[in-house]
Amino acid sequence: MISPGYSIHLVCLLLGALLLQGFIKKMKARLQGRQGPGLLQPCYDLSKLLKKDSVLSEHASWVFRFAPYGVFVFTLTAALFVPLYVPLTPMTYAGDCILVVYLLGMARFLQAIAALDTGSAFGGMGSSREMTISSFVEPALFMALFTVGIQVGSLNLSEMVLRVSKDGAGYLSLFNILLGISFFVVLIAETGRIPVDNPATHLELTMIHEAMILEYSGRALALIEWSKALKQFIFFALLVNLFLPVPVSRGEAVPLYSLGVFFLKLMVLGYIIAWVETLNAKLRLFRIPNLLLLSLCGSFLALLSIIFVR
Amino acid sequence: MLNLLLLLGAFSGPVLGVLRGSPRSSSYVSTAFTILAAICGLLLSFNILSAGGKGSTTTLSLKAPNLIPWINFSFFLDGLAAFFLLIISLLALATAIYSMGYNKEFYGRNVGVLGLCMNLFILSMIGVVSADNALVFLIFWEMMTLASYFLVVYEYEKVESVRAGLIYIVMAHAGTAFIVAAFLFLYKWYGSFDFAVLRASVANLSGIPKDLLFVLFLLGFGVKAGIVPLHIWLPKAHPAAPSSASALMSGVMIKVAIYGLVRMVMDLLGGGRVALLLPGGATATDGGSLWWGVVVLAVASASAVLGVLYALVEHDLKRLLAYHSVENIGIILMGVGASMVFSSMGESGPARVALVAGLFHTLNHSIFKGLLFLGAGSVVFVTHIKNIEELGGLIKKMPWTALCFLVGAVSISGLPPFNGFVSEWLTFQGLLMGFGVTEGGMRVFLPVVAVVLGFSSALAASCFVKAFGMTFLALPRSEHARHAVEAPLSMRLGMGMLTALCLLLGVMPQYMLGLVDGAASTVLHTRAPFGNSYDWLTLVPLTPGGASALSGFSPQWVFLLLLAFTGGLLLVMGIPYRRAILGETWGCGIPALVPRMEYTATAFSKPFMIIFRDLYRTTEDMEKIASPAPLQPHFTRIRSYEVSVVRIFERYFYEPLVQVVMAISNKMQILQSGSIHLYLLYIFFTLIALILWTKYR
């Protein structure tokens, strides 16, 4: 398990997540005509938070205290199953896409109960909304992943990426583009971006994720922010690897070429996200299920066409 | 021989159930016998299962030729029966330990009767799964219904218990009627009640008679299992019983119905017999048709989603859990239904994976649903409140109960690293394997069912965030919740045992899966054993061809990884919030946080109510108070807010049905004059008519 390739994988994961966060913020600022913070700002924020004291609500129990650790551990474990610049990952054959989705589900479960723990109405609000949205995200996500898995013949993410990158441009049929768009909608919902949630808001009545973590401070907050960035990185990596195929090497050593290609793809997607966030307003909470239903239908159409058109 | 002794031990439950004496002694004696029976049952089932389910079976034949000459009281335990015996014994053991403390709740009443009913209930369930004869099966089946009915109405002075009991017993008997009808058909055609004889004979049956039998069995067992739309009794009856009984009813009794369905449809009718592939692609099946499995899958999907959707808007803790039983029966039937589909197509590998998934989820659901009901029982035991809106903050008063309930909640939501995830994962695999082996419409249908499974488990997670959060977290919302104390040791032990099993089966499922595989193989009669199955580190349910959408999963690696990361994090960052400054939760500037300011369960489920308003048909009822003159009408204050949900099956199907039945009964009243002479006359005429009919038929 401890080989240079894997350590680079881990570093790429932990730092890449923060850099991606910074990149999107920067792009968003640029698109809105602002200068924006530097690329490394999330890293600075994190190191600042790690040094700070924390305030703990007197009503909170151990659930609140340990939840950030749990959220981080489950998210990081899930991330180890997701291929980044090479199809193989440190844990390739120990799990598949269902496991990844459910590990992230466990992280969300912990976050949601921790939000209820302090007795704050905002926590409850965030928790309720997060769980509502996730109930609609999950079927859409599964439909998209299963449709890819069915074409590839495996639910293992590495196998999927391997097949997709081998097929290259040939993989980009019309229905896989449709599938990619559906997955993009899921990505927006899962990463809490506009129009589903606004990561920059502290407006009491519209926030979802921010409402859940309102009572956190110091190190715990740092871990939660980091997990959120990691989760975003996971979904970005999935999308670019499954729907923007570029032939990559399988090699064990660090292939600089594929690393570069991978980050280039992430940047393209990050720019698109910044663009979507700039051009759209947040949706009403009760319109979000419609959006996700649309994504589900897109994936379902792709499934139908794979079965009946091919 | 040892097996026989153990079987008798397992039957020893009800002896001395009732003791006139102090409630404490009668409670202890009855639980002691339950524990004895449960241990015998566990040993026996392990004996049979560890031998692969095939080689060693136990037969016990009791004949009473003088009394009832035509019935052979025979019992038979093969792999499948032994597996369900394992489930029954496991839960019986946990609830018996739990009952030692829990029965104190009922010391003012007749505890002996409670113990007797519980033991009779357990005995009858063991009888059902070990019966080798339709009549014996029915006798125990009926005994199971009656014993559980008495448990439901144990608190007979409560109107709702009695009402729940009435609905339960009516529904249960309607279901039993279908099963009786099916067995009578079989008896009429083949002249025997013995399962072995029937199994051999039914193979020649085909077409409509066989389909009819399938429908009868599905309806009959479906009522008891609580599939939608036959589930209406379940959310009423399970919560009404004492919690130890609820745990057994939800954890085990509805599984006995799954046993009945698997035994009768897959084994007896051959729905699980893998079809032979003939040259040219045709299949020669002496088993079931494809549409059986499709119907089961459709029913399963409906149960899974509707069960959890109704649970979401339910705020009575025990009723919420009961609705989740409907959901989980759906998940179990997804595995069973997929297995039936594959069997009818001659695909032994996927059929086996799907059935193993269904059976394993049966075991897992017993464990975590039993655990959750016991946890709910502890909460009610301490606070006497079932409404989660009035609970809260219990995690500080009852830390062990809270931890156990949390593990149960995570397991039932199908999240790793607990047992619910492993069986849901296998169910996904089973369903998606269908893509490689089916054609056309089925290729669409099976992934859609898999997505429905994902949907229902995401909804379940939401529901349990609510159930756990509102019950155990934040501030107590009532006086009773404020003064709660931890449950007694025996209750914690009972829960702790099941909690440990949730984790154990989630991290090391391979050994148990091997046993489940043995149980599944006794039903499927697979000719080609399914190779590459479950080694000790990775689960790779691969079909030999490897043509299907499959993958592997290693629970051990995942668990090790989680442990390593947690350990590392604790090492680097220390215990969380060890040096924190205590402060108040921010209450928008209002000085002290009071429970009234917390989010409520109603508020939590409000988004779901709005999104699914067409299903729930909610009606809101607000009581408003007028404000003083200048503020009126813009600042109306709301004193109370009530939202109610229409349960569409009851409103649009059962209520009209009851009305029709009542109308007919009213008409029939003419016959019922109260005069005994008239009744004698009826009997006389009926007799004459019957004699004439048999004569001139």
DSSP annotation string for B508-527 = --HHHHHHHHHHHHHHH--S
Q: Quick check: B577 and A74 CB within 8 A?
A: no
* C-beta atoms of B583 and A65 within 8 A: no
Beta bridge partners of residue B316, listed in sequence order: B387
- Give the DSSP per-residue string, chain A: ---HHHHHHHHHHHHHHHHHHHHHHHHHHHHTT-----TTHHHHHHHHHHHS--EEETT--HHHHHHHHHHHHHHHHHHTTS--SSS--TTGGG--HHHHHHHHHHHHHHHHHHHHHT--HHHHHHHHHHHHHHHHHHHHHHHHHHHHHHHHTB--HHHHHHHHHHHGGGG--HHHHHHHHHHHHHHHHHTT-TTT--TT---TTT-SHHHHTTT--HHHHHHHHHHHHHHHHHHHHHHHHHHS-------SS--HHHHHHHHHHHHHHHHHHHHHHHH-PPPPGGGHHHHHHHHHHHHHHHHHHHHHT-
Q: Name the residue among B448, B295, B57, B463 with its Cα closest to residue A150.
A: B448
Q: Do A142 and B607 touch (CB under 8 A)?
A: no
Q: Would you say the ipTM is above 0.85?
A: yes
A226 touches chain B (CB under 8 A): no
Reported as a single tens digit per residue, the pLDDT across B178-223 is 999 999 999 999 888 888 888 888 877 777 888 899 999 999 999 9
Q: Which residues of A touch B611 (CB under 8 A)?
A: 132, 286, 289
Q: Which of residues 72-91 of A touch B (CB under 8 A)?
A: 72-74, 76-77, 80, 91
CB neighbour list of residue B63: distance below 8 Å, 6 or more residues apart: B72, B73
Query: Do the strands B72-77 and B58-63 form a parallel or antiparallel pair, or are they unpaired?
Result: antiparallel
- Residue tagged 């938070």 (tokens): A49
Considering only CB atoms, B462 lies closest to which of A121, A135, A219, namely A135
Q: What pLDDT, on a 0 to 100 scale, did the predictor assign at position A249?
A: 55
Nearest to A116 among B457, B595, B599 (CB): B599
Say if CB A96 and CB B427 are below 8 A apart: no
**B457 interaction partners in chain A (CB closer than 8 Å):** 138
Question: Does A255 contact B at CB distance below 8 Å?
Answer: no
Question: How does B551-587 read in b/e, with b if 16+ C-beta sit within 10 Å?
Answer: bbbbbbbbbebbeebbeebeeebeebbeebeeeebbe
**Residue ranges of chain B with pLDDT lower than 50?**
1, 17, 55, 527-537, 542-549
Q: Does A215 touch chain B (CB under 8 A)?
A: yes
Q: Give the one of B458, B547, B581 whose C-beta lies nearest to A55's C-beta.
A: B581
From B474, B549, B593, residue closest to A117, measured CB to CB: B474
Contacts of A289 in chain B (CB under 8 A): 611
- Provide the pairing of β-strand A55-57 with B581-583: parallel
How far, rounded to the nearest angstrom, does the alpha carbon of residue B98 sit from its chain's CA centroid? 19
Q: How many CB atoms lie within 10 A of CB A247?
A: 12
Nearest to B62, CA basis, from B79, B48, B76, B47: B76
Out of A106, A155, A223, closest to residue B415 by CB: A106
- The whole-number pLDDT of residue B544 equals 41
Determine whether the interchain pair B561/A80 forms a contact, defined as Cβ–Cβ distance below 8 Å. yes
Q: How far apart are CA A299 and CA A144, in angstroms?
A: 5
Rounded CA-CA distance B90/B368 in Å is 12
Amino acid identity of B35?
I
Tell which A residues from 40 to 59 touch B, by Cβ distance under 8 Å: 53-59
pLDDT at B283 (0 to 100): 55
List of chain A residues whose C-beta atoms are within 8 Å of the C-beta of residue B444:
303-304, 307
Kind plus residue range of the DSSP H or E element containing B644: strand B637-644
CB atoms within 10 A of CB A34: 10
Check residue B289 and give its pLDDT. Answer: 81
Q: In terms of CA atoms, which chain B residue is nearest residue A309?
A: B440
Does an H or E element contain B93, and which? helix B79-102
A57 vs B566, B585, B599: nearest CB: B585
Tell me whether residues B599 and A153 touch, CB distance under 8 A.
Answer: no
* Facing B585 at nearest CB: one of A97, A118, A137: A118
Interchain proximity B565–A73, CB inside 8 Å: yes
Q: Which of A59, A73, A132 lies nearest to residue B462, judging by beta carbons?
A: A132
Residues of chain B with Cβ-Cβ distance to A152 below 8 Å are 549
Nearest to B554 among A94, A102, A134 (CB): A94
The 10 Å CB-count burial string (b at 16+, else e) for B447-462 is bbbbbbbbbbbbbbbb
Q: A174 CB contacts (<8 Å, ≥6 apart)? A: A305
Which of A94, A141, A214 faces B558 most closely, judged by CB atoms? A94
CB-based contact B473 A63, cutoff 8 Å: yes
H or E stretch covering B340: helix B317-345
| A168-200 per-position pLDDT tens digit | 767 778 888 999 999 999 999 999 998 888 888
pLDDT at B539: 62
Instruction: Please report where in the chains the tokens 């859409």 appear, as a residue.
Output: A140
Of the residues B308, B327, B462, B613, the best mutation for testing chain A's interface (the one with the most A CB atoms within 10 Å of its CB) is B462
Q: Which residue of B has its CA nearest to A74?
A: B562
Of A147, A155, A219, the CB nearest to B550: A155
A142 in reach of chain B (CB within 8 A): yes
The percent of residues in chain A predicted with pLDDT above 90, rounded, is 60
Question: Is there a contact between A103 and B547 if contact means CB atoms under 8 Å apart?
Answer: no
Q: Cα–Cα distance between B214 and B249 in angstroms, integer?
A: 25
Distance of CA B449 to the CA centre of its chain: 20
Predicted confidence band of residue A308 (pLDDT cuts 50, 70, 90): confident
Interchain contact, B554 vs A76, CB within 8 Å: no
CB of A216 within 8 Å of a chain B CB? The answer is: no
Contact (Cβ atoms closer than 8 angstroms) between residue A147 and residue B444: no
Partners of A154 on chain B (C-beta within 8 Å) are 549-551
Q: B558, A99: Cβ pair inside 8 Å?
A: yes
Contact (CB, 8 A) for B354 and B335: yes
Asked whether the beta carbons of residue B610 and residue A142 sit closer than 8 angstroms, the reply is no
**Which residues of chain A lie closer than 8 angstroms to B461, CB-CB?**
105, 108-109, 131, 134-135
Q: Does A138 contact B454 at a Cβ distance shorter than 8 Å?
A: yes
User: Which residues from A are below 8 Å from B554, CB to CB?
Assistant: 93-95
Contact A286 B610 (CB under 8 A): yes
CB distance A58–B583 less than 8 Å?
yes
Of A56, A76, A119, nearest to B582 by CB-CB distance is: A56
Residue to mutate among A65, A113, A154, with most B CBs inside 10 A, is A113
Residues 90-129 of A with CB under 8 A from B: 91, 93-99, 101-103, 105-106, 108-109, 112-113, 116-125, 127-129
Q: What is the pLDDT of residues A16-55, one digit of tens each?
A: 999 999 999 999 999 999 999 999 999 999 999 999 989 9
> Which one of A133, A146, A295 would you mutate to disrupt binding with B, by most B Cβ within 10 Å of its Cβ?
A146
Set of chain B residues whose Cβ sits within 8 Å of the Cβ of A58: 582-585
Answer yes or no: do B454 and A65 touch at CB < 8 A. Answer: no
Residue B393 and residue B398: Cα distance in Å, rounded?
A: 9
